[in-house]
């Protein structure tokens, strides 16, 4: 898969732009503020229907223009497609495929898949839990675009439920039977959609974990072992399953989930460590899944729909084993729950078990929710736990280690999408300037085989020699081919 042509109209600083692209490496070089990031941002927007830089669509439209239009000619398995998105401030965006209108922009999710590395990715490690939830949900949608609808439906039901809770809390009196009956209905809807999203996230973490460990080891040889765990608000209500060592063939054998009291499960070995800093559900949006770009990713008609994702790839053989017992913050050792999956990724915790766990947790939290006027249970409160050498990466990892972990997450996402049959387009936005020479070289070696790599850099010297290819100069919004 590659982008053969990019056309812009009133997007960011560009009144118009027409750029022909080829497979392989393409580098956009220019001083900061000249418009090179706007080009790759536009390609990313075609892929995910959201920007990696801003939370709403309004800044994407050139000042004074009524709308912006982005077109991308995409080649996939020798088949060509023209994707067009019309960005309209304050109203629904529009989409066309091969110049024919489509009912909803989200209907063309998956036509172009990208993996974007950017300085903002440091927030995946150092930022709030909402950043990591957003990462998972974008990858989910990239692998299976239907999850854009699941997530949009979840956000819609969550907002309705929160509105009811806030109304009850504002009256400062016990809710009547009609309110409780209505709340029961919303509980049922939220549990059903939440279970679908939770099951998909658990499956994704299982697929992602060994690939992250492998990518981190390649970027930072000799460093600690990178591992993932998923902490959900219903962990302690799920049936405890045996902790399984990684199979001989290296496929992910379990999806870890951490008890909600703060203990975490290490998924790739290493020294057991404490759970992340005391923010078990921090960073959650009360009206959505907690990602800072929820509204932007609704592409006008679907509030809060994400990027998109794929099925899992087999990790390399010989992945380290797992530690299954952790010490929680109160010092009591307890076995960390894990959702086991078979070699093909089929979940052994049934969906109805997740639905029942969510419904039970909502019933038990009802009094507190009515007092606070917010929903306290569900995937919008969950956390993807990142650990390095058994310690939470957030707060313990150095700047260089945090960068390597963020890059490892993106590289793992690339491998998952590639396992589906097509190389996604790799975008590296001012990434090499943030890395030392060793990490630059190792990252270049890892991404060079991709079908198409798009790079932005302030100066040519920032780009490793291994990534030579086409080059464009970007100066004051003018794009010209150099080589």
Q: Residues forming the annotated binding site for ATP?
A: 30-37
* Binding site as annotated, residues: 30-37
Please, what's the b/e burial string for 292-319 (b: 16 or more CB within 10 A of its CB; e: otherwise)? Answer: bbbbbbbbbbbbbbbbbbbbbbbbeeeb
């Amino acid at each position: 898969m590659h982008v053969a042509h990019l056309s812009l109209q009133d997007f960011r600083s560009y009144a118009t732009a027409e750029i022909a692209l080829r497979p392989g490496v393409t580098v956009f070089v220019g001083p900061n503020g000249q418009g090179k990031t706007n080009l790759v941002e536009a390609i990313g927007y075609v892929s995910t229907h959201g920007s990696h830089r801003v939370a709403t669509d309004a800044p994407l439209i050139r000042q004074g223009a009524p709308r912006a239009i982005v077109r991308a000619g995409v080649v996939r398995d020798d088949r060509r497609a023209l994707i067009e998105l019309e960005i309209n401030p304050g109203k629904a965006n529009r989409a066309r495929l091969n110049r024919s209108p489509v009912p909803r922009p989200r209907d063309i999710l998956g036509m172009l898949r990208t993996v974007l590395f950017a300085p903002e990715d440091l927030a995946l490690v150092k930022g709030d839990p909402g950043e990591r939830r957003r990462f998972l949900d974008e990858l989910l949608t990239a692998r299976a675009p239907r999850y854009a609808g699941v997530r949009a439906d979840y956000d819609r039901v969550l907002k309705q439920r929160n509105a009811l809770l806030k109304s009850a809390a504002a009256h400062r009196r016990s809710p009547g039977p009609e309110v409780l009956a209505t709340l029961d209905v919303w509980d049922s809807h939220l549990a059903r959609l939440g279970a679908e999203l939770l099951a998909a996230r658990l499956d994704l973490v299982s697929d992602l974990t060994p690939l992250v460990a492998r990518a981190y080891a390649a970027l930072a040889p000799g460093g600690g072992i990178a591992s993932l765990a998923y902490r959900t608000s219903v962990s302690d209500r799920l049936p405890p399953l045996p902790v399984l060592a990684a199979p001989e063939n290296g496929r992910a054998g379990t999806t870890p989930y951490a008890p909600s009291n703060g203990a975490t499960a290490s998924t790739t070995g290493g020294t057991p460590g404490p759970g992340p800093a005391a923010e078990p559900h921090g960073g959650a949006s009360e009206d959505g899944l907690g990602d800072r770009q929820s509204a932007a990713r609704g592409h006008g008609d679907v509030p809060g729909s994400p990027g998109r994702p794929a099925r899992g790839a087999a990790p390399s053989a010989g992945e380290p084993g797992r530690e299954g017992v952790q010490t929680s913050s109160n010092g009591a050792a307890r076995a960390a729950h894990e959702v086991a999956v078979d070699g093909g990724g089929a979940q052994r915790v049934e969906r109805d078990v997740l639905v029942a766990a969510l419904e039970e947790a909502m019933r038990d939290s009802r009094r507190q929710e009515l007092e606070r006027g917010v929903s306290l249970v569900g995937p919008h409160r969950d956390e993807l736990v990142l650990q390095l050498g058994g310690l939470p990466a957030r707060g313990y990892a150095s700047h260089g280690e945090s960068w390597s972990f963020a890059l490892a997450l993106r590289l793992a996402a690339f491998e998952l999408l590639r396992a589906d049959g097509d190389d996604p387009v790799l975008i590296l936005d001012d990434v090499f300037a943030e890395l030392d020479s060793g990490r630059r070289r190792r990252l270049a070696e890892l991404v060079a085989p991709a079908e198409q790599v798009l790079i932005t850099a302030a100066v040519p010297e920032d780009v490793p020699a291994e990534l030579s290819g086409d080059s464009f100069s970007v100066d004051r919004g003018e794009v010209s081919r150099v080589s």
